[in-house]
Amino acid sequence: MDNEINIYTDGGARGNPGPAAIGFVVMTGNGKKIFGTGKPLGQTTNNVAEFSAMIAALQWLLKNKKSLGEKTNTVNFFSDSQLMVNQLKGIYKIKNIRLRSLIIQARQLEKQLNKIIIYCLIPREKNSLADSLVNQTLDQAEQLLH
């Protein structure tokens, strides 16, 4: 649908905590890829990386709000992080202070976007585009160190 944007996010750390990266892919409701990126985070945990990916995608949306147009009223986030999706949906309590601050940051970005935001849990195999961006980014960062 033209009024929807679908975003696939992923974050990962090798070692947990360890070298971490994020990846996200933005697609139209019709499945056309608009944007995709990966970014290294340095040393952090898997959970922080997952939230960081979603926040980076929200920031991208905010920067590109005008070009996406007013017709776009719904943003569907797809992630394979059960913890993140269920915390954002209010199903799981947020006990970790670092994750709580990331959720607060996400909520502020959501308000600025003024769109319907839906968080969806998907199986890992359906998140291969974002996952491959995370792994490519981690591999590139690793090569730079050697």
Record the tokens describing residue 134, joined without a space.
């995370």
What is the DSSP pairing of strand 33-44 with strand 18-28? antiparallel
Residue range 1-25+50-67+78-120, CATH number: 3.30.420.10
Please report the pLDDT score of residue 92 as a whole number. Answer: 95
Contact 18, 51 (CB under 8 A): no
Torsion angle defined by CA atoms of residues 58, 121, 99 and 47, in that order, rounded to the nearest 10 degrees: -100
Please report the pLDDT score of residue 143 as a whole number. Answer: 81
Where do the structural domains in the chain lie, given as residue ranges?
1-25+50-67+78-120
Q: How confident is the model over 57-72, as pLDDT tens digits? A: 999 999 998 888 778 8
Q: How confident is the model over 99-143, as pLDDT tens digits? A: 999 999 999 999 999 999 999 999 999 999 999 999 999 999 888
Give CA–CA dist 33/36, Å, rounded.
8
Q: Can you give 78-89 as a three-state secondary structure string?
A: EECCHHHHHHHC
Mean pLDDT across the stretch 69-98?
Answer: 93
Residue linked to tokens 């769109």: 115
Give CA–CA dist 75/62, Å, rounded.
12
Give CA–CA dist 99/101, Å, rounded.
5
What confidence category does residue 144 fall into, taking pLDDT thresholds of 50, 70 and 90?
confident
Q: Is the pLDDT of residue 1 over 80?
A: no
